[in-house]
Amino acid sequence: MWNKYASSAAHLNGRRLVSCEAMTNLHGVFRATLEDLKQATDLDFMTGVNHSVLHGFNHSPARAGFPGWIRYGTWLSDRNPWWPHFRLYCDYHARVAAVLQATQPVAQVAILGPRADVWGDHGLERSELVRRPGYLHELWQAFAQNGVTADYVSARVLQAARCEDGMLVHGPMRHVLLVVAELESLEPAAAEAVARFAASGGRIAFVGQPPSRAPGLRDRVAQDARVRAAMDAAQQARADRVGVVAAPGDEPLLAWAGRLLERFAVPRAVEIDSPDPRLFQIHHRDAERRVTLFANLDRERDLVTAVAWPGPRRDVERWDPQTGTRSAVAVDADGRVTLALGPLESAFLVTGAGSSAATAGPERALRVVDRLGGPWRLELAPMVGAPFERALDALVDLAVADDTELQTFAGTVTYHLTLDADRLREARALDLGTVHGVSAVALGERYLGQRWFGRHRYELPGALDPGPVTLTVRVTTTAANHMRTRDDPTSRRWTRAWRDPRPAPAGLVGPVELLR
């Protein structure tokens, strides 16, 4: 909610930089993964934030000992096992933020909530502002999942806005639809601004009922009459553009928002064939291009759908903020492209980019052709203490292994498996299955890369020398399972604050499979 209010204010006033406090972890210090940061940051980006102020890194002198001084926030420290990989997150954030800061946000919907009613009934108390009505501050999400972007507005914004060609214009923003969400009272000047918007051809959805009175008691009779007159005038505009709709009730908000957009014929910034409550988008543009950032916020599912943009057929590029690479995307005769995102994956689709890159072919489905069992040889480098080794016949979550040293391990564990190269000859990819941590993979002397969120899948090299080859998988865990065993005051304080008291999952769990 607070992110959306900040970004809405920035959008309406032409400010390109939108900051927020991020990763303020009160109940999971030492447990947070880079994958957690990725998921939370993508939701921040979807709210319109483009600059994260991370919590927290604080100076900790040597005399403070281990683990040092810790305040509220994710444990951003060079003593955290995943600290050497933190730049992967920073590079990702920088790529997304650079594009969002350099382009102009586009929003089709303005949302007005009953702030005056809440403050009149309860005073300046934020918990009621969050809850009334219960769907209000999730409404932007449902619109985003239906292909439009929404800003929140106030009575002051409505009074300052212009009405041009059926649009509500404030600063650089041009909203097509105004959603008035269950207001009982509205300032008379704002109500008259709503009536002017309706007269200009604007689209207005009154959820529940139109406002019927002014806030406050001063000149109450006259002020209430002004509000009712303005609302009557607004509703006398075109019935296809102004109307009262029922509140969502028990209906899923995604479906309700989709029907609302259809009812008022609101043009989508991007058409999404299969809206999903975990598929988000935010739309920007510059002088030549439409820039849409998509994010799959589901940790388990692939999301695949066709998307299209209004207007003539355009060239489309896919910009990958995880790697910084760009590729052209195949566009069908109707201007549609296939968007496929793995768990927690995100991508920009950019129209009118004029790329000279080769067009990416259609993705082919992969199937499992082999599963790699043990025995695995493990080399464990703990964050505190001496390295040691283990052997496992089968992979297991280290936190629940029948070995105390594995249960309390935190650091980097390297898994080795020797297999015959002939088993890999027909395979095109290696899927590690479940991985709790950051993974990096090598096959013999060939480094295949690393993964820090989502699916830990690696492309395999096309040609291998015959004979035995060693698969090496390095997994870096969180600090959690070591810190929960410590008896110093800092460790006790933060591990006792965990909402989940169980050990944190750790290591390579698998199954490790070969795909083609």
Residue range 448-476, pLDDT digits in tens? 999 999 999 999 987 788 899 999 999 99
Question: In this model, does residue 477 exceed pLDDT 80?
Answer: yes
Choose one of 215, 234, 263: the last residue of a domain: 263
Q: Are residues 98 and 116 in the same domain?
A: no
Q: Are residues 243 and 162 in the same domain?
A: yes
Mean pLDDT within 25-54:
95
Q: Are residues 466 and 452 in the same domain?
A: yes
Residue 359, pLDDT score:
57
For 269, phi then psi, to 5°, come to -65, -35
Take residue 397 and report the two structure tokens written for it: 């979550």
For 437, phi then psi, to 5°, come to 140, -170
CA atoms within 13 A on the CB side of 511: 9
Question: In this model, does residue 354 exceed pLDDT 90?
Answer: no
Q: Where are the alpha helices (DSSP H) in 373-428?
A: 404-407
Take residue 398 and report the two structure tokens written for it: 């280290």
Mean pLDDT within 30-50:
97
Residue 2: inside a domain: no
Using an 8 Å Cβ cutoff, are 356 and 326 in contact? Answer: no
Q: Are residues 92 and 203 in the same domain?
A: no
Question: In this model, does residue 220 exceed pLDDT 80?
Answer: yes
For 40, phi then psi, to 5°, come to -65, -40
Q: Are residues 434 and 401 in the same domain?
A: yes
Measure the CA–CA gap between 191 and 210, rounded to whole angstroms.
Answer: 10
Q: Are residues 127 and 71 in the same domain?
A: no
Q: Which one has a higher pLDDT value, 462 or 353?
A: 462
Residue 57, pLDDT score:
78
Measure the CA–CA gap between 437 and 473, rounded to whole angstroms.
Answer: 12
Q: Of 52, 58, 60, which is closest to residue 72 (Cα–Cα)?
A: 58
Residue with tokens 């001084």: 69
Give residue 360's pLDDT band: very low, low, confident or very high (50, 70, 90).
Answer: low
For 55, phi then psi, to 5°, come to -115, 135
Mean pLDDT within 220-234:
97
Q: Are residues 351 and 485 in the same domain?
A: no
Q: Are residues 328 and 392 in the same domain?
A: no
Q: Are residues 418 and 460 in the same domain?
A: yes
Mean pLDDT within 47-56:
93
Using an 8 Å Cβ cutoff, are 447 and 471 in contact? Answer: no
> What is the average pLDDT value for the chain, to the nearest integer?
94
Q: What does 334-365 look like in DSSP terms, one character per residue?
A: TS-EEEEE-TT-EEEEEET----SPEEPPPPP
At 382, which helix (H) or strand (E)?
A: strand 376-382
Using an 8 Å Cβ cutoff, are 101 and 280 in contact? Answer: no
Residue 186: inside a domain: yes
Q: How many CB atoms lie within 10 A of CB 362?
A: 7
Residue 458, pLDDT score:
97
Residue 361, pLDDT score:
54
Residue 486, SS3 per DSSP: coil
At 483, which helix (H) or strand (E)?
A: helix 480-483
CATH at residue 230? 3.40.50
Residue 166: inside a domain: yes
Q: Are residues 342 and 409 in the same domain?
A: no
Q: Are residues 140 and 41 in the same domain?
A: no
Please give the tally of structural domains in the chain. Answer: 4
Q: Are residues 396 and 422 in the same domain?
A: yes
Residue 12, SS3 per DSSP: helix
Q: How far is CA 457 from CA 273, 275, 510, in A?
A: 27, 26, 11
Please give the radius of gyration of the chain, using alpha carbons only, rounded to the nearest integer. Answer: 27
Measure the CA–CA gap between 241 and 166, rounded to whole angstroms.
Answer: 10
Q: What does 233-269 look like in DSSP terms, one character per residue?
A: HHHTS-TTTEEEE---TTS-HHHHHHHHHHHTTPPPS
Q: What percent of the chain has pLDDT over 70?
A: 98
* One-letter-per-residue 3-state SS of 298-325: CCCCCEEEEEECCCCCCCEEEEECCCCE
Q: Which one has a higher pLDDT value, 201 or 357?
A: 201
Mean pLDDT within 354-383:
80
Give residue 326's pLDDT band: very low, low, confident or very high (50, 70, 90).
Answer: very high
Mean pLDDT within 69-86:
92
Mean pLDDT within 207-216:
96
Residue 190, SS3 per DSSP: helix
Take residue 64 and report the two structure tokens written for it: 């403070």
CATH at residue 458? 2.60.120.260
Residue 144, SS3 per DSSP: helix
Q: Is 68 exposed, middle or buried (0-12, 13-18, 19+ CB in 10 A)?
A: middle
Residue 5: inside a domain: no
Choose one of 328, 360, 392: the last residue of a domain: 360
Measure the CA–CA gap between 456 and 434, rounded to whole angstroms.
Answer: 8
pTM over 0.85: yes
Residue 1: inside a domain: no
CATH at residue 302? 2.60.40.1180
Question: In this model, does residue 174 exceed pLDDT 70?
Answer: yes
Residue 238, pLDDT score:
83
Containing domain of residue 115, as a range? Answer: 109-263
Q: Of 202, 193, 201, 219, which is closest to residue 211 (Cα–Cα)?
A: 193
Residue 50: inside a domain: yes
Give residue 313's pLDDT band: very low, low, confident or very high (50, 70, 90).
Answer: confident
Give residue 358's pLDDT band: very low, low, confident or very high (50, 70, 90).
Answer: low
Choose one of 332, 360, 388: the last residue of a domain: 360
Residue 20, pLDDT score:
94
